[in-house]
Structure 1
């Protein structure tokens, strides 16, 4: 998949998950910067909501806790943004490569 299309899909997921108006980003770095700024606000004003969202996104709790430690190698908003983007990229990959019909009859409802 071409990088521009991947960034569009990533922007769409971030826009939906974080209730941000349509995000325009030409690169993953742009998305990271936008998300870092938004997470700075959420950490300060809506931490419980952010943690709940990260749980629903199925981001590893141990990695989240490590990113929030004062001894983390980078600020919490940057560390969390990296975790979110990596999770969303895995989500896009899964949707592209696995379809319910590919699972077989035993998975039909």
Structure 2
């Protein structure tokens, strides 16, 4: 399984994604999803971030230090970064 498929499958546990989406499209969908969650369901968003094991302190720091970017974009990027790390770990130990 290639990295993009593994990433899509991992993210698919929390969000509905089509198979074989380009990474930039996945990012845009995550920004849109986190924007909606910020406005409508913070507790669900926090639950998703917790399950994905996103570092809360690092995220707080990024939100404060990247204040020129929309919060949803910062959150989506950190979520995707963490999911990519998990894919790499999975690959490393599955061979």
TM-score of the superposed pair, with normalisation by structure 1: 0.73
Rg (Cα) greater in structure: 1
The structure 2 residue matched to 1:96, chosen from 88, 91, 94, is 91
Q: Distance in 2 between matches of 1:73 and 1:51?
A: 22
Partner of 1:16: 13
Q: Which runs of 5+ in 1 are unaligned?
A: 103-109
Partner of 2:72: 77
1:15-67 CA distance string (max 9 Å, x none): 1123x2x4245421111001111111111111111112212211111122234
Q: Which runs of 5+ in 2 are unaligned?
A: none
The count of residues paired between Structure 1 and Structure 2 equals 95
> Is 1:43–1:50's contact at 8 Å kept on the other side of the alignment?
yes
> Is 1:7–1:28's contact at 8 Å kept on the other side of the alignment?
yes
Q: Distance in 1 between matches of 2:49 and 2:89?
A: 18
Partner of 1:105: none
- Residues 48 and 69 (structure 1), Cα distance of their counterparts in 2 relative to 1, 3 Å cut: farther
Q: Supply the RMSD in Å over aligned alpha carbons.
A: 2.3
- Residues 75 and 93 (structure 1), Cα distance of their counterparts in 2 relative to 1, 3 Å cut: same
2:37 matches 1:42 = yes
Q: What is the CA distance between 1:6 and its match in structure 2?
A: 1.6
Q: What is the CA distance between 1:10 and its match in structure 2?
A: 1.1
